[in-house]
Structure 1
Amino acid sequence: MADTKREIERKYESDDSGLPDLTGVAGVEAVVDKGVAHLDATYYDTPDQRLLASSITLRRRTGGSDAGWHLKLPVSEGVRDEIRAPLSDDLPDELAALVRSRARNVELLPVVRLRSDRDVRHLLDADGQLLAEVSVDAVHAERLSGGVGDAQWTEIEVELADDGDPAFLDKVEKRLRKAGVRPSGSSSKLARALAETAPKKKAAGPVDPVTAGDHVLAYVRAQRDAILELDPAVRQDAEDSVHSMRVATRRLRSTFKSYGKVLDRTVTDPIGDELKWLAAELGVDRDREVLAERLSTALDEVPGALVSGPVAERLRVWAGDSPGGASARLIGVLDSHRYLTLLDTLDALIADPPLRKAAGKKPHKVIAKAVTKDFKKVSGLVGRALELEPGTDRDVAIHEARKKTKRTRYAAEAARPALGDPAKSMVKSMKSLQNLLGEHQDSVMARGTLRELSAVAHAAGESAFTYGLLYGREEQRAAAVEAELPGFWDGVKGAADGL
């Protein structure tokens, strides 16, 4: 069984002169010598180093206090989640699953062996509590595949104690810098080993977006990357991960539609269909969870004297039991051939994009025109909704306006690097409108569910009074949105003027 540890650390270059005196660091009462550990780690990756490209490391290590398999996933600068599994000859299935979206059907191979002599010190406070572990690592790297030669170096690593204050690392760094020690130029030992043993190539310079196609592809690439980065989080049932991945799929699909003059829709539409499938699969549990939370909150606001029958129990049964982790159904989706093929297809599109003539033009006109076109569609849909009488037809019209508002928001997000503040203003306006229209749609869905629950309760001989009460309150919430919409829309009509 794997366990996860949040790792906050910093790495520094060393000239083999050892560790500077750290007794002067503020808060440090004692520096305790913990001896030397001999570590032997083999790192795994695909032949084209897909894990390293995503700042992910996977290793099998012996020696030290934590021998076993270690998977490190980036969280932010200097912060990683280290997922550990017991030592075994073969890669544990649970770790293999967490890198499947990266490796897919490509075999993970040993790429580097790192043998390190780790001289460890513990920095303790006045109460004897651990503040940080500092080590001086003498590293010998041996390239196992895809490169040439060996490499050796010495580095200093400072890892914050569990639940420690990250600001303490700043104090240690200040002392190290004063002693002439500088931050490492490599993000990890693996990255340094691969760099120092790689065949020499001419470095490619950074490429900034220039054309309309460059800007659209940059946004597409960002959403593809988001899906890949969120895959392990979804498998681990991390908070908000399913919703965030679903949003990334929607952003991609919307971008293909909005920028059809840039990317050929005969190519992107089939990909959009697969993204729609993935979003639907991600939403199966999520939509019911959100609606159940809304109805439960509404029920909590009803005075006890007005709650007639086992309403809360009916809601719990309808919502289903909350799983203790990601559902087996969702894990099956992420392990499916269809999903992995979709990821391959997105990679292929980014590597060889189906660019149309407008893609080569300057971005301002092409991108602004696409966003303005989407906004005009929103305007037409909102106008139509306001002309309709309250009822089913208006509910449907408002929902269609919401979907188009979301698409316009995503188009404006893609446009921000090219258009600047006008696109930023559009994103803000569309997000506010989306939230307002979303409140109306949530009320529509809630009322539909309340009708179903009321019918089930009635058939069981229970009172349906409370369901009717909740239904009436949802009607009032929807009516409030409809009353607010005309004035709200007047405030956002000029959102496209600056594009």
Structure 2
Amino acid sequence: MTEHLEVELKFDADTGFVLPDLSGLAEVGEPVTYELEAVYHDTEDLRLAARKVTLRRRTGGTDAGWHLKVPAGPDSKHERQAPLSDELPAELARLLPAYVRGREVGPVAVLSTVRTVRKLRSPSGEVLAELADDLVTGTITGTPGSSSWREVEVELVSGDPRLLKKVGARLRKAGAERAAGSSKLGRLLGPRVPVPPSLDGSRAGDALLRHIAAQMDQILAYDPRVRLEVFDSVHKMRVAVRRLRSVLASGRPLLDRAVTDPLQSELRWLAGVLGEVRDAEVLHERFSGRLASLPEVCRQNPPWLRQIKKRERKGYTSIRKELSGERYFALLDALDRLLAAPPFTARAHGEAEKELRKLVRRSWRRLERAHDAIGESESAEGAAAADAARHETRKAAKRVRYTADAACEVLGGDAKAVSKAAKDLQEVLGRFQDGVIAQEQLRAVEPASVEEAFGLGALYGLEHCEAERARDEVEAAWADARSRAVPRLG
């Protein structure tokens, strides 16, 4: 299976459209024509199309085979390809569960295309982009008749993204119009594709809902990449899960807790599933870097470090199992229902600026209480209790940050300033907590040799000093964060 990031612009053109002169932008190659046929697959209720995901089996042209395209941002998609076969390849099928959630996938449409391709080259001959002029005929499975249209695409190969905009400007000037949809299939299926709920309202609850929808999109976008073990994808998906949990918690005044509290517990479960791999990733990378900085006797990959790597590998097996199970599907379905029928309270219908500012202030007060508990714990219960309070303060700072991020659309610079202040405090507390966890991991290792014991001791010393330095910085970081955030709370 191969993968690349597809970045392209699509334009509608009538039969009389003439491609414009592109001189000055690139050297235009001679046209080459292909006949393509693509059978598109989806669930009966078009779950893939609803998420702008396309799965097709294409014959003809230079890239015959199975193609899976997943949105990766405006005008771009992650495209994965597998060799041509009669059945859907397993390597693509295993990337679909979060979208299809147990439903069967089969043919839903056929697109036949006569494609004329022109390569856009640099003066040195490098292919910068490809311009495709398509005459398309589409049929929907089980439906009589067909639809035909003309479409022009310009896809980036190795050029600067600005080239797409410049070519697009000339296409529009010549009479082409930006395509309404991002895919030929979407154009063919039209109103058959489920429409996502409208999130463009101006109420406080609408702003919160848009942020929730964005985190849901992130979870679905990173799900296939987690299954493929793409570096940092577990981290990115876990962050989206945690942002959702924080916003559902801080947004309780706007959302019915009878609906959101069960979601929070399930999101906590999902974060835990992802956490096993993420924690192992972080520890392995951290200890490997530390060992590289120590004397020659420590520069090795000791058995205990290999065990952490094995935990990471085992964790991926567990993740793939859980992300293909009914509990995960039920959580995704529940989040979809929340977006489709928001459980708004009376306050959710209020003025967005007023209500979201209240949420940010509320989360900040929670952070202040958590910070105050550090000193109280140290006086009454000792250092260990104070360290636990620092951990709680870190979590409270993270909630402030995520709540402020959710309010940025409405509160603008005030929310950004609060978020940045909370993030800076969180990072100091995080360095302390990471050092504490690292020391716990090292204490649990039984050295197999004197050399290994020396390496463990040296690492422990580094982690202890790092944690101590971070702990000594906490109060200054708190004072700084407070001085920056409080004036912005309103």
Do these two structures clear the TM 0.5 threshold for a shared fold by scoring above it?
yes
The answer as to whether partners of 2:280 and 2:312 remain within 8 angstroms in 1 is no
Structure 2 CA distance for partners of 1:135 and 1:421, relative to 1, 3 Å: closer
Secondary structure of 1:20's partner?
Answer: coil
The structure 1 residue matched to 2:148, chosen from 122, 145, 152, is 152
Deviates more, 1:406-415 or 1:276-285: 406-415
The structure 2 residue matched to 1:51, chosen from 41, 48, 52, is 48
Amino acid at match of 1:425: A
In the alignment, structure 1 residue 138 sits paired with structure 2 residue 127: no
The structure 1 residue matched to 2:417, chosen from 390, 410, 425, is 425
| Equivalence for 2:226 | 234
- Which whole-Å deviations, capped at 9, do the CAs of 1:447-477 have from their partners, x for residues lacking one? 1122223xx11x6555634433332332222
Deviation at 1:271, TM superposition (A): 1.7
Note the residue ranges of structure 2 that are not aligned, 5 or more in a row.
none
Amino acid at match of 2:49: L
Inter-partner Cα distance in structure 2 for 1:204 and 1:117: 32
Secondary structure of 1:80's partner?
Answer: strand
- Which whole-Å deviations, capped at 9, do the CAs of 1:98-129 have from their partners, x for residues lacking one? 22211213333433221111223334445544
Question: How is 1:24-35 mapped onto 2 (pairs within 5 angstroms)?
Answer: 24-28=23-27, 31-34=29-32
| Equivalence for 1:291 | 283
- Which whole-Å deviations, capped at 9, do the CAs of 1:268-294 have from their partners, x for residues lacking one? 222211111111110111112212222
Deviation at 1:439, TM superposition (A): 0.3
- Among all aligned residue pairs of Structure 1 and Structure 2, give the percentage whose two residues are the same amino acid: 40
In the alignment, structure 1 residue 409 sits paired with structure 2 residue 398: no
The structure 2 residue matched to 1:110, chosen from 103, 107, 112, is 107
Structure 2 CA distance for partners of 1:496 and 1:46, relative to 1, 3 Å: farther
The answer as to whether partners of 1:139 and 1:152 remain within 8 angstroms in 2 is yes
Secondary structure of 2:30's partner?
Answer: strand
The answer as to whether partners of 1:395 and 1:444 remain within 8 angstroms in 2 is no
The structure 2 residue matched to 1:318, chosen from 307, 314, 333, is 307
The answer as to whether partners of 1:292 and 1:315 remain within 8 angstroms in 2 is no
| Equivalence for 1:194 | 189
Structure 2 CA distance for partners of 1:170 and 1:443, relative to 1, 3 Å: same
Secondary structure of 2:294's partner?
Answer: coil
Secondary structure of 1:113's partner?
Answer: strand
Inter-partner Cα distance in structure 1 for 2:452 and 2:61: 65
The structure 2 residue matched to 1:169, chosen from 164, 171, 178, is 164
Amino acid at match of 2:147: A
Inter-partner Cα distance in structure 1 for 2:460 and 2:196: 61
Amino acid at match of 2:31: D
The structure 1 residue matched to 2:35, chosen from 35, 38, 49, is 38
CA RMSD, aligned part only? 3.0
Structure 2 CA distance for partners of 1:316 and 1:115, relative to 1, 3 Å: same
Secondary structure of 2:94's partner?
Answer: helix
Inter-partner Cα distance in structure 2 for 1:287 and 1:104: 27
Deviation at 1:482, TM superposition (A): 2.3
| Equivalence for 2:441 | 449
Deviates more, 1:356-365 or 1:391-400: 356-365
Inter-partner Cα distance in structure 2 for 1:358 and 1:178: 48
| Equivalence for 1:212 | 204
Deviation at 1:426, TM superposition (A): 1.3
The structure 1 residue matched to 2:372, chosen from 355, 375, 383, is 383
TM-score, normalised relative to structure 1: 0.87
Note the residue ranges of structure 1 that are not aligned, 5 or more in a row.
none
Inter-partner Cα distance in structure 2 for 1:22 and 1:67: 30
In the alignment, structure 1 residue 373 sits paired with structure 2 residue 362: yes
Amino acid at match of 1:15: D
Deviates more, 1:175-184 or 1:401-410: 175-184
- Which whole-Å deviations, capped at 9, do the CAs of 1:18-51 have from their partners, x for residues lacking one? 65365724441x62232x3221222223344332
Deviation at 1:481, TM superposition (A): 1.9
The answer as to whether partners of 2:428 and 2:477 remain within 8 angstroms in 1 is no
Deviation at 1:177, TM superposition (A): 4.4
Amino acid at match of 1:81: H
Amino acid at match of 2:398: K
Deviation at 1:410, TM superposition (A): 1.4
Amino acid at match of 1:183: R
| Equivalence for 1:301 | 293
Amino acid at match of 1:190: L
Inter-partner Cα distance in structure 2 for 1:125 and 1:419: 45
Amino acid at match of 2:475: P
Amino acid at match of 2:349: G
| Equivalence for 2:337 | 348
| Equivalence for 1:272 | 264
- Which whole-Å deviations, capped at 9, do the CAs of 1:207-238 have from their partners, x for residues lacking one? 63333322222222222222112111212222
- Which whole-Å deviations, capped at 9, do the CAs of 1:58-109 have from their partners, x for residues lacking one? 1122222322221112223332222122233332232222222112133334
Deviation at 1:243, TM superposition (A): 0.7
Structure 2 CA distance for partners of 1:399 and 1:153, relative to 1, 3 Å: same
Secondary structure of 2:178's partner?
Answer: coil
Secondary structure of 1:61's partner?
Answer: strand
Amino acid at match of 2:356: I
Deviates more, 1:16-25 or 1:97-106: 16-25
The answer as to whether partners of 2:10 and 2:179 remain within 8 angstroms in 1 is yes
| Equivalence for 1:11 | 10
| Equivalence for 1:393 | 385
Secondary structure of 2:237's partner?
Answer: helix
Inter-partner Cα distance in structure 1 for 2:396 and 2:3: 41
Displaced runs of 4 or more, over 6 A: 203-206, 322-326
Secondary structure of 1:327's partner?
Answer: helix
Deviates more, 1:323-332 or 1:426-435: 323-332
Structure 2 CA distance for partners of 1:325 and 1:231, relative to 1, 3 Å: farther
Structure 2 CA distance for partners of 1:132 and 1:316, relative to 1, 3 Å: same
Secondary structure of 1:464's partner?
Answer: helix
Inter-partner Cα distance in structure 2 for 1:64 and 1:320: 43
The structure 2 residue matched to 1:224, chosen from 213, 216, 219, is 216
Structure 2 CA distance for partners of 1:78 and 1:367, relative to 1, 3 Å: closer
| Equivalence for 2:351 | 362
Question: How is 1:323-338 mapped onto 2 (pairs within 5 angstroms)?
Answer: 327-338=316-327
Inter-partner Cα distance in structure 1 for 2:151 and 2:452: 72
Alignment: residue pair count = 485
Inter-partner Cα distance in structure 2 for 1:431 and 1:479: 20
| Equivalence for 1:484 | 473
Inter-partner Cα distance in structure 2 for 1:20 and 1:416: 43
The answer as to whether partners of 2:50 and 2:193 remain within 8 angstroms in 1 is no
Inter-partner Cα distance in structure 2 for 1:129 and 1:59: 29
